[in-house]
Structure 1
Amino acid sequence: MNSTWFVYMVCCADQTLYTGVTTDPDRRLAEHNGIGRGARYTRVRQPVTLVYCEPADNRAAACRREAAIKALPRRAKMALIHSATNCR
């Protein structure tokens, strides 16, 4: 199977950011907003909005990038969001 993986960030209703990986950003966003099973963190912070998405070569690369983004301070994450272009 040759799926494209994505690293994404959503902004929650309380203005916090959540970062994750997926093969389908639209489906995952719907899950975070209560259609299906979203992350425990976002379940109580709905609605969430997709604010950043970047493609990765494979799951391992996506997970490494996710970890790198999670390690950034909020100011750097916001700069990343503002400089991004649509990944889809």
Structure 2
Amino acid sequence: MENNKSTNIKAYFYVLLCNDGTFYGGYTTNLNKRIETHNKGQGAKYTKARLPVKLLYSEGFEDKNSALKREYWFKNKLTRKQKENFLLEHGINKKNFTRQR
């Protein structure tokens, strides 16, 4: 789930699976706290309406800017199919792409 090649992680890019089956990509400096915030309905507007969310993937970065660039790329440059392929290439099983119940 997590790709952390360095111990000097300062920021994370993460992908959530929302309850409606959509993906949400985000950035944070505290991964566990951010996921908890999303699931309390205090996160992004997008996830508030699609609770609960499940962490599918996270990637650590040594600087905030790199994590933000990855988030932008995932959210704005990829189609749904490309997002699925990205997750598959990073070891996420396709069965995890289905809605939560």
TM-score tier after normalising by the smaller chain length:
0.7 to 0.9
Unaligned segments of structure 2, at least 5 residues: 1-7, 93-101
- Root-mean-square deviation (CA, aligned residues, Å) is 1.9
The question of whether the paired residues in 1 share the 8 Å contact of 2:9 and 2:60 is answered with no
How many residues are aligned here? 84
Residues 59-78 of structure 1: CA deviation (Å, up to 9, x unaligned): 11111111111111111111
* Residue 15 of structure 1: aligned partner: 21
**Counterparts of 1:81 and 1:26, CA distance in 2:** 20
CA distance in 2, matches of 1:5, 1:38: 17
Question: Comparing both chains, which one has the higher relative contact order based on Cα–Cα distances under 8 Å and sequence gaps of 6 or more?
Answer: 2
Structure 1 distance, partners of 2:88, 2:13, is 16
| 2:96 is the counterpart of 1:55 | no
TM-score of the pair, normalised by structure 1:
0.84
CA distance in 2, matches of 1:4, 1:85: 23
Extract unaligned runs of 5+ from structure 1. none
